Amino acid sequence: MSLTTTIRQCVIPGAPQSAIVRNYSLEAIAGMEVDFCAALPQEPPFAVGVSIELAPVGPNIKTLALATQDQVFCLSFQHTPSQAQKESVRNILDVQYLSGFEFPYTIVLLARILGYNVSGYDLSTLKNGDITPGDFFYRYKPISSRSVNELWDGGILREIDAKAAGTREPNYALRAWFTAMCVTLTPHVFDHSPLPQRCKNGKSRLAIRPTIKHAIH
């Protein structure tokens, strides 16, 4: 059974105002895979937002957050995953629109840990230049880009239980959730987009822009 919390937002009209955050260890990855697949929408686009929490030391991932419109799945990497655990993560990441902001760095780290291809869409550079999440929404929705960016940078309250006053929710869960909303609320942005960005063995290829490579030392 996963530990669950709740995050909320009120700055994006037409989007869910809350999301359940489910936390899993690597030992519970099989249950996460089942729960995640059950949470995917029945109709396309099968959009999933991705964000990561970095480990305190070194270029490593501490937590991987994957989100639909109303649920966030957070996987904690307490140790190097086994081959079976890597395969489960691979199955989870195999979705139609795996998307993130500053995505090249994310997928390089994922490929480094998992040892296989990771591909998806970098929303930061999808439409002519580097843009923030607030800018992305502002282009398609009548909202305040500043309000979105402030939440993105600062965090929001989470509901632990009925009696709790709440504490700051780590940004990675919020960021994955907002990214999923970007794709689901504006699916037409992909209508004329080239191939997604791909990464293998610590190097990435960006099809939206000229090829770029990243090496981890």
Domains and CATH numbers, the chain: 3-205 (3.30.420.10)
- Among residues 134, 194, 135, the alpha carbon closest in space to that of 11 is found at 134
For the cut 90, the answer to whether the pLDDT of residue 75 exceeds it is yes
What's the confidence (pLDDT) of residue 119? 86
**pLDDT (tens digit per residue) in 37-49:** 999 877 766 779 9
Lowest mean pLDDT among 28-42, 49-63, 85-99, 121-135: 121-135
- Among residues 106, 80, 82, 78, the alpha carbon closest in space to that of 93 is found at 106
Share of the chain above pLDDT 90, in %: 35
Q: Please tell me which residue, 43 or 72, carries the higher pLDDT value.
A: 72
Banded pLDDT at 26 (limits 50, 70, 90): very high
CB 48 within 8 A of CB 36: no
For the cut 50, the answer to whether the pLDDT of residue 164 exceeds it is no
Mean pLDDT, residues 148-171 taken together: 60
Banded pLDDT at 68 (limits 50, 70, 90): very high
Banded pLDDT at 72 (limits 50, 70, 90): very high
Indicate the pTM of the whole model.
0.81
Residues 6+ apart with CB under 8 A from 91: 33
Lowest mean pLDDT among 15-24, 67-76, 133-142, 199-208: 199-208
Mean pLDDT, residues 99-116 taken together: 89
CB 138 within 8 A of CB 145: yes
